[in-house]
Structure 1
Amino acid sequence: MSTVTSQPEMDMDIFNTLESNVRSYSRSFPAVFKKAKGYKLWDVNDKEYIDFFAGAGALNYGHNNEKLKQSLIKYLEQDEITHSLDMATVARGTFLRRFHDIILKPRQLEYKVMFPGPTGTNTVESALKIARKVTGRNTVISFTNAFHGMTIGSLSVTGNEAKRSGAGIPLSNTVFMPYENAVENVSSIKMIEHFLENRSSGLDLPAAMILETVQGEGGINAASDQWLQNIASICRRFGILLIVDDVQAGCGRTGTFFSFEPARIKPDIICLSKSIGGYGLPMALTLIKPEYDIWEPGEHNGTFRGNNLAFVAASEALDYWKTDDFSKGIQTKAAEMTHFIQKIIEEYPELKAEKRGRGLMQGVACAKDEISEKICGEAFKRGLLMETSGPKGEVFKFLPPLTIDEEGMTKGLNIIDESIQAALKQ
């Protein structure tokens, strides 16, 4: 006779007692979650939450997307390949073919696809390495408030002081320039041109510039199409490779598959991760213009660069991009979000707020001290996950799954409105 062992009760004590102090999101969202579907999560007490966090942008297609889930179940039941390093597999080949046919070819983009490892920082590290290898130069220009990852190379092009300090060593070979509108009445384009044109500026000719078109962790700062075009022009003029980090802003988050599409630029190197895996499974891509793909075999590698389960889910997720319908739907939802943000800016002048971002990657920057953190805390109490960003945590940001429906969007925005009212009373 078999004995059924019930699952032990679970609370935050086990995490507080046994897990490292390094954990962060479990402090912002102090609940033990057990189930998720679409844009909703439930904790062990069956409390329901609306997700305006989406795995920090890794769950663009929602939790446990049914179509993607069924493809994974079928793949596992057939005992197909799970781990394979960079050996050729059917799952890998299927993804490559579909990514080329559905994403690259219709956009007239030609890139070699590199699987650098499973995370965003892996793709950034590989991008920096290949840029330096191609050019034979060391320096990289990054931008104020940038965030590109937590390993040493990625940290060197990250602006956040607290995160940089964790490296424990000097972070070198990087020069930071102001992002668009980072300094009032200062043209970052003119500044960059001045430093590059003046051979006594002290700036060595860089190997690359790396940027986010919308700075996710840095405060949801969105670059204009004109600024991006100017940066691309400078890179061409001086023979500098342009790297676009689309780890959070890509895969449809801003309304188009690549966030830079409206600017009509073609970066030399593109970094993708987070939602490229479709189901929240670890996966990253580095897209390299063919003429710069000068790697020696195995020169950049990793044990988990062959996550076949992610290839399966990613291939299925590309179905969303076979027509323009999904993109148009994101833009419709984004317009609703923009309208809501403008409304709360007008209704709550004490926030001293301004709108940030674009697409379904928007936020509200508040001049009132610590109010954004309080609003996120009130939202959590009311059943909504939302986080802050920016140098001082001054922005509360909205990252719902791209698949969220009208009911979910309305409920989530209403909770935010209620949370603002509650926070302002404190």
Structure 2
Amino acid sequence: MTITQPDLSVFETLESEVRSYCRGWPTVFDRAQGSRMFDEDGHEYLDFFAGAGSLNYGHNNPVLKRALIDYIERDGVTHGLDMSTTAKRAFLETFQNVVLRPRDLPYKVMFPGPTGTNAVESALKLARKVKGRESIVSFTNAFHGMSLGSLAVTGNAFKRAGAGIPLVHGTPMPFDNYLDGRTPDFIWFERLLEDSGSGLNTPAAVIVETVQGEGGINVARTEWLRKLADVCERWDMLLIVDDIQMGCGRTGAFFSFEEAGITPDIVTVSKSISGYGMPMSLCLFKPELDVWEPGEHNGTFRGNNPAFVTAAAALETYWTDGPAMEKQTLARGQQIEETLSALRAEYPDDTVEYRGRGLVWGIEFRDKERASKVAKRAFELGLLIETSGPESEVVKLLPALTITTEELDEGLRTLARAVRETA
């Protein structure tokens, strides 16, 4: 694809140096539909990024767009803080009937603010309030957000350094297979808990991602997650599952922890919960943990009513038909796995491994800079993919759940070409 140099002057002169994705994709996007994005010159890109997991149902999904337009046209409430509105009621009733009740999940629902890190901050705050303890255990290569509390339980050294102050009250433990299977699961963690001289204060909670997205597509085994839940129960620690990127069907089931058969004490949800890419997040927790005083945790934009509208429409459209969406996601995931397996076999010396679940996958390269080269070449060929991992050594695939088999096959062919052309 021939790309003319776009006019980026206003972005380069006025926008902060902190901008990131636009550097890897140096064009000016104008419109998007489904799994396609178009720049202002009309060039077409197949999107395997999906708003970093915020667009599980694609760009401008027509069903969700219709619900949103109808709501706006009738002058539905846009900004409502935590006031009761018809839009919020519709979402809560739909969420209860479509998601919580069928899974026998008893959670109370809290709207902590518009972003994922708002949900994480509220979860950490609630855990400390309930248990009367400060320490939180997280895991190596975790990512939970960019505000200070979330950064304290994030592993990436570059992101942590941006805080500018010491990040305290968080203790990292080895994620599943971090030690290459050389030690039994949680032997170090439990030894620290047992030893009064270890220096580890009894934690209020443990926070974990079932699949570490930003950390390199590190997939926790179901047995590891079950053992973690058992450790938390035996040591009176709350289990927080951060399902911000992996929830809303990304791994197959609506919640990524369902396959493990566990019920976390607290769950954070954001990104694709609105269905349309609009800011919205939830903090879910067991009823006995609801010890908040009115207004004790709040936020001006915790009542994003247009997001409630599209969220309810997404649940009604994609999650009322039993396991249909889950089956489709797993089938599409198998399609990706077959391609990555073939690339691994074709380049055994260049690749470390491929890994993933559902529709989140990654392939890791031995040359730490190779993944970025592949992503750059893919962009030139009309495919949007990002990298992840502590050294950006993993090519990350995150297509919409609604992507067609033909679009997926097209993108995978482009990925394979980008890998070959950067070999």
Q: TM-score, normalized by length of structure 1?
A: 0.97
Q: How does 1:28-177 map to 2 (within 5 A)?
A: 28-177=24-173
- Which whole-Å CA distance do the structure 2 matches of 1:10 and 1:377 have between them? 16
Offset at residue 197 of structure 1 (A)? 1.5
- Which whole-Å CA distance do the structure 1 matches of 2:368 and 2:86 have between them? 53
Asked if the contact 1:350/1:368 (under 8 Å) is kept, the reply is no
- Partner residue, 1:3: none
- Which whole-Å CA distance do the structure 2 matches of 1:400 and 1:388 have between them? 14
- Which whole-Å CA distance do the structure 2 matches of 1:410 and 1:31 have between them? 24
Q: How does 1:181-200 map to 2 (within 5 A)?
A: 181-184=177-180, 185-200=182-197
- Which whole-Å CA distance do the structure 1 matches of 2:195 and 2:365 have between them? 38
Asked if the contact 1:117/1:304 (under 8 Å) is kept, the reply is yes
- Partner residue, 2:297: 300
- Partner residue, 1:213: 210
Offset at residue 201 of structure 1 (A)? 1.4
Alignment counterpart, residue 258 of structure 2, candidates 258, 261, 283: 261
SS of the aligned residue for 2:395 comes to: strand
Paired residue type of 2:381: R
Asked if the contact 2:120/2:150 (under 8 Å) is kept, the reply is yes
SS of the aligned residue for 1:349 comes to: coil
SS of the aligned residue for 1:172 comes to: coil
Asked if the contact 1:116/1:122 (under 8 Å) is kept, the reply is yes
199-208 or 85-94: bigger deviation: 199-208
- Partner residue, 1:346: 345
- Partner residue, 1:314: 311
Paired residue type of 1:83: H
Offset at residue 11 of structure 1 (A)? 2.0
- Which whole-Å CA distance do the structure 2 matches of 1:336 and 1:321 have between them? 22
- Which whole-Å CA distance do the structure 1 matches of 2:185 and 2:198 have between them? 15
Alignment counterpart, residue 250 of structure 1, candidates 247, 250, 253: 247
- Which whole-Å CA distance do the structure 2 matches of 1:12 and 1:54 have between them? 23
Paired residue type of 1:340: T
RMSD in angstroms over aligned alpha carbons? 1.0
Percentage identity across paired residues of the two chains: 54
Offset at residue 136 of structure 1 (A)? 0.1
SS of the aligned residue for 2:186 comes to: helix
Paired residue type of 2:308: F
Paired residue type of 2:355: R
- Partner residue, 2:267: 270
- Partner residue, 1:389: 388
187-196 or 204-213: bigger deviation: 187-196
- Which whole-Å CA distance do the structure 2 matches of 1:318 and 1:405 have between them? 20
- Which whole-Å CA distance do the structure 2 matches of 1:103 and 1:11 have between them? 45
Offset at residue 10 of structure 1 (A)? 6.7
- Which whole-Å CA distance do the structure 1 matches of 2:368 and 2:49 have between them? 22
132-141 or 318-327: bigger deviation: 318-327
- Which whole-Å CA distance do the structure 1 matches of 2:344 and 2:206 have between them? 34
- Which whole-Å CA distance do the structure 2 matches of 1:97 and 1:398 have between them? 33
- Which whole-Å CA distance do the structure 2 matches of 1:164 and 1:269 have between them? 24
Matched, 1:178 2:206: no
Offset at residue 365 of structure 1 (A)? 1.0
- Partner residue, 1:379: 378
SS of the aligned residue for 1:350 comes to: coil
Offset at residue 368 of structure 1 (A)? 2.0
181-190 or 145-154: bigger deviation: 181-190
For these two proteins, the number of residue pairs brought into alignment is 416
Paired residue type of 1:196: L
SS of the aligned residue for 2:90 comes to: helix
Alignment counterpart, residue 7 of structure 2, candidates 6, 11, 26: 11
- Which whole-Å CA distance do the structure 2 matches of 1:308 and 1:353 have between them? 45
- Partner residue, 1:286: 283
SS of the aligned residue for 2:203 comes to: coil
Q: TM-score, normalized by length of structure 2?
A: 0.97
- Partner residue, 2:200: 203
Structure 2, unaligned stretches of length 5 or more? none
- Structure 1 segments (4+ residues) deviating >4 Å: none
Paired residue type of 2:179: V
- Deviation per CA, 1:213-262, whole angstroms, max 9, x where unpaired? 00000000000000000000000001100000000010000011000000
- Deviation per CA, 1:93-129, whole angstroms, max 9, x where unpaired? 0000000000000000000000000000000000000
Structure 1, unaligned stretches of length 5 or more? 1-8
Offset at residue 353 of structure 1 (A)? 2.7
Offset at residue 186 of structure 1 (A)? 3.0
- Partner residue, 2:357: 358
- Partner residue, 1:5: none
Offset at residue 367 of structure 1 (A)? 1.2
Asked if the contact 2:193/2:202 (under 8 Å) is kept, the reply is yes
Asked if the contact 2:185/2:224 (under 8 Å) is kept, the reply is no
- Which whole-Å CA distance do the structure 1 matches of 2:132 and 2:202 have between them? 11
Offset at residue 200 of structure 1 (A)? 1.8
- Which whole-Å CA distance do the structure 1 matches of 2:195 and 2:11 have between them? 54
Asked if the contact 2:351/2:363 (under 8 Å) is kept, the reply is no
SS of the aligned residue for 1:36 comes to: strand
SS of the aligned residue for 2:223 comes to: helix
Paired residue type of 2:255: F
- Partner residue, 1:6: none
- Partner residue, 1:4: none
Asked if the contact 2:247/2:254 (under 8 Å) is kept, the reply is yes
- Which whole-Å CA distance do the structure 1 matches of 2:70 and 2:117 have between them? 31
